[in-house]
Structure 1
Amino acid sequence: MCMVIFAPIFAICAFATCGGYYGHLRVKVDCADSRQSNRSINIEFGYPFRLQQVHFRAPLCETKREEILFLDGDFSSSAQFFVTVGVITFLYSLLATVVYVFYQNKYLKNNRGPPVDFVVTVIFSLMWLVSSCCWAKALSDIKTATKPTKVLLLIPACSAQENKCTAAQEPHWSRLNTSVVFGFINVILWAGNIWFVFKETGWYKMGQRYPTRSTSGKREMRQRLYSESSFEIQEENFGMQAYRQGSFNQSQMSQGLPQTYLGQPVM
């Protein structure tokens, strides 16, 4: 029940904090020429973080013209993979909630529902782990690519010593950091649910019903069978000896008795 309640909530928090992000940074270029002094440049970027498509205009201090520059890096694959996993797990969690609440009998019918749920849970656990690790690495690269000091290196006017370039505003990363945290929370949540789903399958009961014997147990069983068989062989030998002894005594007694013929002793 906890999985049914918390899985959709954490999935929404994971892909919503990543998919709806917009960042903003600002740098200032102060040219030695007073005609273009203290020029502010605003740069905006966001999901899916195709930074090579984000452009901005930078002044050319030698002339009055401006040039168009682009940021470096494309991190859309990691971000979209993370968001896609979040959306798919959210939809599956809603479907599982409906099945648990309204179709419990069909879920347990012929023991088909729990094995399918177990396999899907394992797959989603691995997907959350891979996507969270990839997104954490991509976020670190995004922070480096959008660092104001790194952006200033892209502006040719900032390479001249007579011009002054400063970072005015850095992007806020708290939202994206939260998305990474929610990603690993989903990893823990889905991985922990594997054990509970496994207990609902028939595999757990079969493992308890037919426990495997250890090597020492097999050795003790062999010794017990060997001792029982030896005891039975000894009993059979003792019975045969007793039978032979009885037969021998009976034959001796029959030889010692006098024989009679019509009531007369026969010598």
Structure 2
Amino acid sequence: MDTIRKNKLTAIFAFGSCGGFSGKNIISLFCGDGRNETLSANFHYPFRLSQVPLVEGNTTICNHSVTTTHMMGDSASSAEFFVGIAIVCFLYSMVALLVYLGYMHVYKDSDFGPIFDFVITAILVFLWLVCSSAWAKGLQNVKDATDTDGISGTLALCKGSNITCEVTEFANMRSLNISVVFGYLNMFVWAGNAWFVYKETRWHSQKFSAQSGHGRQQVPAPI
């Protein structure tokens, strides 16, 4: 029961800290004539940055004509994969809790239940490793695209002119960093759960019985 509660909580924290994110960076443009102008980059889950406009419509910035410009990058696949695995694990924990509370006798009396549970749990351990690693890389891509170098590389007027572009206010990405931590934490929690489930399977009981039988072999009496 305690393991199931931990599985649910870590899964909730994982997709909650990632799936609910919304942030804004403020970009300051220091024009050559001493004027300053600002742009805002609003981005959120699932981080399709290529659809986030930095400049909407044709406009004039620092006496330069600028067309519609979007940010660079797309981390949607890794973010959605991460959140999807977290939701699947949460739902599986709910189903497992229902089985343990109402059908524990059926679960223990059959070989299929523990083996099925172990196989699914082992698969989820592997998926947590994959999705957490993918999301860690995706998050780094988001940080690179929204920092000063990323924005300067996206806006044409920041290249080769007397205009200096700099991100002066950054969105707080602490929750996204936490989501990566919870992703790997889920992997370890589910790995521990896999061990406990394995002990319920016939594979473990047969191995234990074989070892016990070997230990009880009688030593022949001396002649």
Report the TM range for the smaller structure's normalisation: 0.7 to 0.9
1:92 CA drift (Å): 0.4
- How far apart are the structure 2 equivalents of 1:60 and 1:171? 23
TM-score, length-scaled by structure 1: 0.74
1:211 CA drift (Å): 4.1
Cross-structure match for 1:228: none
Cross-structure match for 2:108: 108
1:109 CA drift (Å): 2.5
Q: Confirm or deny that 1:44 pairs with 2:45.
A: no
Please list the CA deviations of residues 201-246 of structure 1 after superposition, one character each: whole Å capped at 9, or x if unmatched.
111121122249x9xxxxxxxxx9xxxxxx9xxxxxxxxxxxxxxx
Q: Confirm or deny that 1:12 pairs with 2:41.
A: no
Please list the CA deviations of residues 1-58 of structure 1 after superposition, one character each: whole Å capped at 9, or x if unmatched.
2211111111010011111111210111132357xx2111011011111111111217
What aligned pairs does 1:1-267 form with structure 2 within 5 A after superposition?
1-33=1-33, 37-57=35-55, 59-63=60-64, 65-211=65-211
Q: 1:206 to 1:67 in 2, by over 3 A?
A: same
TM-score, length-scaled by structure 2: 0.87
SS in 1 for 2:167: strand
Structure of greater relative contact order (alpha carbons < 8 Å, 6+ residues apart): 2
SS in 1 for 2:122: helix
1:106 CA drift (Å): 1.6
Q: Note if contact 1:27-1:152 (Cα within 8 Å) is conserved in structure 2.
A: no
SS in 2 for 1:200: coil
- How far apart are the structure 2 equivalents of 1:85 and 1:194? 17
Percent identical residues:
36
SS in 1 for 2:10: helix
Please list the CA deviations of residues 86-131 of structure 1 after superposition, one character each: whole Å capped at 9, or x if unmatched.
0000000011011111211121233321111111110111111111
- How far apart are the structure 2 equivalents of 1:83 and 1:66? 36
Q: Note if contact 2:14-2:182 (Cα within 8 Å) is conserved in structure 1.
A: yes
1:168 CA drift (Å): 1.6
**One-letter code aligned to 1:114:** P
Please list the CA deviations of residues 149-168 of structure 1 after superposition, one character each: whole Å capped at 9, or x if unmatched.
32023223223443343322
Q: 1:59 to 1:153 in 2, by over 3 A?
A: farther
- How far apart are the structure 2 equivalents of 1:170 and 1:18? 17
Q: Note if contact 1:148-1:170 (Cα within 8 Å) is conserved in structure 2.
A: no
List gaps (5 residues or longer) in structure 2: 215-219
Q: Which structure carries more helix by proportion? A: 1
Alignment RMSD (CA, Å): 2.4
- How far apart are the structure 1 equivalents of 2:208 and 2:134? 39
- How far apart are the structure 2 equivalents of 1:11 and 1:136? 16
- How far apart are the structure 2 equivalents of 1:119 and 1:163? 58
Cross-structure match for 1:238: none
**One-letter code aligned to 1:54:** V
Q: Note if contact 1:11-1:86 (Cα within 8 Å) is conserved in structure 2.
A: yes
